[in-house]
Amino acid sequence: MPMDAGELTRLIQDALPDAQVRIEDLRGDGDHYAAYVVSGAFKGKTRVQQHQLVYQALKGRMGGQLHALALQTSPPPEA
């Protein structure tokens, strides 16, 4: 069963409340998404650690409900 983009956003924002999330459905099938996530939780973390935080937020849905997720993560720009 495909995952809704709104559910994907909610899961990420539940785990990273300050996150700015933009989701693109890459194929229109609810199974292949690109996620762009900006969060203060990423500050000082490597790209791998940032992606791990997002995958943890998905609570095991990667590879099941969600087949493919292209991730772009970053901390917010410093003012």
Radius of gyration of the chain (CA): 12
Mind listing the pLDDT tens digit for each residue in 21-51?
999 999 888 788 999 999 999 999 999 999 9
Q: What is the CATH number of domain 5-74?
A: 3.30.300.90
Provide the 3-class DSSP secondary structure of residue 74: strand
- The pTM score is 0.89
Distances (CA, A) of 26 to 1, 29, 35: 17, 8, 10
- Where do the domains of the chain lie? 5-74
d(CA 54, CA 48): 10
In the numeric block, the tokens 């490597």 are attached to 46
